[in-house]
Amino acid sequence: MSREDLKQMAQRIQDDKKKYAYTIFACNASGCIPSGSEAVFEALKNCVKDRKLEDQVRVVSCGCMGICAQGPIVRVDPDQSIYQKVTVENAHRIIDEHIIGKTPVKDMLLFSHEKEPLINSFEETFFKKQKRVVLRNCGRIDPQSIDDYIAEGGYQALEKVLKRMGPEEVIAEVKHSRLRGRGGAGYPTGLKWEVVYKYVSDKKFVVCNADEGDPGAFMDRSVIEGDPHRVLEGMIIAAYAVGAQKGYVYIRGEYATAIKPLETAIKQAKKNGFLGETIMGTTFKFDIEIRIGAGAFVCGEQTALIASIEGRRGTPRPRPPYPAEKGLWGYPTLINNVETFANISAIIVHGGEWFCETGTTKSTGTKVFSLAGKVKNTGLIEVPMGISLREIVYDIGGGILDDREFKAAQTGGPSGGCISKEYLDRPVDYESLVELGSIMGSGGLIVMDDTSDMVDVARFFMEFCMDESCGKCVPCRVGTKQMFDLLNKIYIGRGTMADLKVLEELAIFVKEASLCGLGMSAPNPLLSSLRFFKEDFLQHIQRNEKVVKPLI
Amino acid sequence: MTKKDNQKDEAMQQLMKDPRFKLLTAVIKKNQNQSDTLIQILHQAQNLFGYLPMPVIKYIAEALSLPPSQVYGVVTFYNFFSLKQKGEHTCLVCTGTACYVKGAEKILAAIHEKYGIKPDETTQDNKFGLQIARCLGACGLAPVAVVDNEVVSKVRVEDFMPILEKKIGGKP
């Protein structure tokens, strides 16, 4: 398949779609399903059938549009009208009033892009400050259709790489973009690729880490649900660059709604010659298999993930050797996060230079966050790196629920920390967050208001780490348990100032002595709470009333 | 061989007659008896049996030429796999960060008060089991609970308990 073929194919699919006067996108991602979106999708489809509009209206079940709190969301294109909280009962009004009657259903409208009545300022706030690179197609295409992806320019990056670039050029371009790993640690992606490329081996592997274990994070899931081919394309390009023949997507067992579209996408890619032997008519071959995890947070750690793919207990091992040298079955293995792979095709098509235009000098590009907790507009957002926390919470998030006071924002899940009010104007990038004792993490961002008790939050994360510790190294296994007990003691009102001191000492010890990232970062939420919210701890220690011990 | 062992063997043979073992064999065959597919096979086995009884673990170990201890080790390592039968009805309460901040704890407390069970416990009559999940990835709709595969979002204790009672049917 040549470049022209691909472009013609995209054109043809686009022309095909033009016969539809309207396209109705019904969100069917994990955020909307619990609100009953599947039934809404069926209702819309049946209604179109009933009114005999099948030739003019296309109803598509799509990925996340971001505004999860208002779900189920339905968008009508080309008008770009977004309807909120659509139900089976009122779904027909979209067809009858908007499509047949040509007047948007005002009382259901979240906002409309049309000039006349802008229902509220949602567009101004929620979407204006966002920049969509990874989520470009999310909620705008049918994730189950490879044609939709191709029509949006999909697989053109792969064609460019296979036909006109050598592996070194691909790596140079990725290095030039200064893309950093989106899984949390922020290791430069180009460098990682280069290391794997340089090892000489008859077998190499590419692994996509979709074991999104941080509680409060659902970005990777949404990317896979909404645009699975983008992730696959990134993986295939990576395989070409490093010289791998086999790839795995390691995905959480909890993500049943993401596994299915991924399976479909792999099948379609194989059928269309983007995966398998002789990819796009070249001699390059590459195949991808899905491995389903079984609920172990530690498996997000590279070496534990490798053990799990090999069918063993997911316990990490000391590094070096790093997976880039000795990974799956001892062969060089490239492991990147879902979002990292999802950035690749845009970098190849538009160039590394273009990618650097967004973000800060050290943290380029955009970052997808799942915004949750006590904020008005919870959902999935993608923002340029370097945006301030204030803009995320107040402009995009619409402020705190019930207009209460902002207390803290938690990033990086159990490995991250809480950022207090004083730092709301700091830019959100890798370095600033580390400075504040947190980490970028995979992108969970949980907002807490003045009713949140930071001792409880620290206790919550410590319980999580204690439970998820694999038990291999002592500092993590025993340390997290001791810290949890101390936190519990303080929480129920029996703590002393001496406990606080021991807690701090222990935290530093566990951080320095643990074997893998889980243990090394487990004390982070505690340390950052101690740093910014010592008051909360003192209050617990100084008050006399005892609190009932919580169940979890 | 002791009498006890004999009894165990009989139990195993009884189980082997179970038609689900045929399906399990097919799954193992599809994975070409490769030991690295162990976790994938365990997923399927749990789907078939609802949990992972000992004979199933032994059977899989033999088919993949692995020591049963290793398979047992894998089963107990991962939260997803269960050695015990689950209750007839299950309620899964998400205790991810977003749900926690929004009051998942209150739901657990209400369930404990009413049914006397804590997370990972089942009522004595095996009718109702309570579980917690780390994060269901529906944080925008926190707090979230799943009652018998039906997701209930933006849960408020006062609204939730009647839903639960209706599903389970009266008092335990």
CATH of A20-128, one of 3.40.30.10, 3.40.190.10, 3.20.20.70, 2.170.120.20: 3.40.30.10
Q: Which helix (H) or strand (E) holds A16?
A: helix A3-18
pLDDT number for residue B172: 44
Closest residue by Cα to residue A333 from A320, A344, A324: A324
Asked if residue A216 has pLDDT above 90, the reply is no
CB contacts under 8 A, A 411-450 vs B, are 413, 444, 446, 448
pLDDT number for residue A549: 65
Closest residue by Cα to residue A428 from A408, A415, A411: A411
The angle, 0 to 180 degrees and rounded to 10, between the axes of the packed helices B54-63 and B3-16 is 80
Closest residue by Cα to residue A522 from A509, A535, A533: A509
Q: Average pLDDT in the A121-140 region?
A: 83
Q: Which residue of B has its CA nearest to A251?
A: B40
pLDDT number for residue A359: 95
Indicate yes or no: CB of A216 within 8 angstroms of CB of B97. Answer: yes
Ranking A107-111, A482-486, A530-534, A543-547 by mean pLDDT, the lowest is A543-547
Ranking A129-133, A152-156, B55-59, B146-150 by mean pLDDT, the lowest is B146-150
Interface probe with B: pick from A27, A28, A30, most Cβ of B within 10 Å: A30
Which residues, 6+ apart, have CB-to-CB distance to B82 below 8 Å? B46, B51, B52
Interface probe with A: pick from B66, B77, B99, most Cβ of A within 10 Å: B77
Indicate yes or no: CB of A218 within 8 angstroms of CB of B139. Answer: yes
**B27: closest CA of chain A, how far (Å):** 15
**B131: closest CA of chain A, how far (Å):** 11
**A283: closest CA of chain B, how far (Å):** 27
pLDDT number for residue A81: 85
pLDDT number for residue A550: 66
- CA dist., res. A498 & res. A526, Å (int): 16
**A175: closest CA of chain B, how far (Å):** 32
Indicate yes or no: CB of B139 within 8 angstroms of CB of A295. Answer: no
Asked if residue A113 has pLDDT above 60, the reply is no
Q: B127: exposed, middle or buried (C-beta count within 10 Å: 0-12, 13-18, 19+)?
A: middle
SS3 A339: helix
- CA dist., res. A344 & res. B29, Å (int): 37
pLDDT number for residue A124: 61
pLDDT number for residue B84: 84
- CA dist., res. A84 & res. A107, Å (int): 9
Q: Which residue of A has its CA nearest to B137?
A: A218
Q: Average pLDDT in the A462-477 region?
A: 95
- CATH 3.40.50.11540 is the classification of domain A146-354: yes
Could you report the per-residue pLDDT of A315-341, keeping only the tens digit for each? 999 999 999 999 999 999 999 999 999
User: Could you tell me where the DSSP H helices lie in chain B?
Assistant: 3-16, 19-30, 38-49, 54-63, 68-77, 97-101, 104-115, 157-168
Residue A376: Cβ within 10 Å count: 19
pLDDT number for residue A364: 96
Name the one residue in this structure whose structure tokens are 């692994």: A207
Asked if residue A545 has pLDDT above 70, the reply is no
Asked if residue A552 has pLDDT above 80, the reply is no
* CB-closest option in B78, B133, B153 to A35: B153
Q: Which residues of A touch B118 (CB under 8 A)?
A: 551
Asked if residue A255 has pLDDT above 80, the reply is yes
Indicate yes or no: CB of B139 within 8 angstroms of CB of A308. Answer: no
Q: Are A530 and A485 in contact (CB under 8 A)?
A: no
Confidence class for position B50, pLDDT limits 50, 70, 90: confident
Q: Average pLDDT in the A278-284 region?
A: 94
Residue A357: Cβ within 10 Å count: 11
Q: Which residues of B touch A30 (CB under 8 A)?
A: 136-138
pLDDT number for residue A254: 84
CATH 1.20.1440.230 domain position(s) in chain A: 454-542
User: CA geometry: angle at A290 spanning A342 and A149, to 5°?
Assistant: 40
ipTM over 0.85: yes
DSSP strand pairing (B89-94 vs B128-133): parallel
Beta strands in A67-221 (DSSP E): 74-77, 81-83, 109-112, 205-210
User: Could you tell me where the DSSP H helices lie in A71-218?
Assistant: 91-93, 122, 146-151, 156-164, 167-177, 189-198
Q: Which residue of A has its CA nearest to B95?
A: A215
| C-alpha dist (Å) from residue A366 to A276, A339, A516, B140 | 31, 10, 27, 21
Phi and psi at residue A111, to the nearest 5°: -165, 165
Beta-ladder partners of B128: B89
Q: Looking at the domain covering A454-542, what would its CATH class be?
A: mainly alpha
Q: Which residue of B has its CA nearest to A308?
A: B39
Phi and psi at residue A40, to the nearest 5°: -65, -40
Could you report the per-residue pLDDT of A67-82, keeping only the tens digit for each? 888 889 999 988 888 8
Indicate yes or no: CB of A254 within 8 angstroms of CB of B136. Answer: yes
SS3 A548: coil
Residue with more model confidence, A544 or A153? A153
Indicate yes or no: CB of A313 within 8 angstroms of CB of B74. Answer: yes
Indicate yes or no: CB of A254 within 8 angstroms of CB of B132. Answer: no
Could you report the per-residue pLDDT of B101-158, keeping only the tens digit for each? 888 999 999 999 999 998 888 888 888 889 888 888 788 888 999 888 788 888 888 8
pTM of the model: 0.92
pLDDT number for residue B165: 87
Indicate yes or no: CB of B142 within 8 angstroms of CB of A550. Answer: no
User: Could you tell me where the DSSP H helices lie in A357-422?
Assistant: 389-390
Could you report the per-residue pLDDT of B6-38, keeping only the tens digit for each? 666 676 677 677 888 889 999 999 999 999 999
- Would you state the torsion angle of the CA atoms of residues A492, A496, A498, A502, taken in this order, to the nearest 10 degrees? 0
Indicate yes or no: CB of A552 within 8 angstroms of CB of B105. Answer: yes
Q: Average pLDDT in the A372-384 region?
A: 92
Confidence class for position A121, pLDDT limits 50, 70, 90: very low
Q: Average pLDDT in the A348-370 region?
A: 96
Q: Which residues of A touch B36 (CB under 8 A)?
A: 309-311
pLDDT number for residue B150: 82
CATH 3.40.30.10 domain position(s) in chain A: 20-128
Asked if residue A449 has pLDDT above 80, the reply is yes
Six-digit token pair at A311? 């069918």
pLDDT number for residue A123: 61
Q: What is the CATH number of domain A366-449?
A: 3.10.20.600
**In the predicted model, what is the mean pLDDT of chain B?**
86
Q: Which residues of B touch A296 (CB under 8 A)?
A: 77-79
CB contacts under 8 A, A 84-123 vs B, are none
Q: Which amino acid does the sequence have at A104?
A: P
- CA dist., res. A124 & res. A552, Å (int): 40
Residue with more model confidence, B4 or A502? A502
Which residues, 6+ apart, have CB-to-CB distance to A444 below 8 Å? A214, A215, A216, A217, A218, A219, A369, A370, A372, A410, A411, A412, A413, B97, B139
Q: Which helix (H) or strand (E) holds A353?
A: helix A352-356
Indicate yes or no: CB of B135 within 8 angstroms of CB of A552. Answer: no
* CB-closest option in B80, B112, B139 to A372: B139
Phi and psi at residue A402, to the nearest 5°: 55, 20
If you count residue pairs, one on A and one on B, with CB atoms under 8 Å apart, how many are there?
Answer: 152
Asked if residue A115 has pLDDT above 50, the reply is no
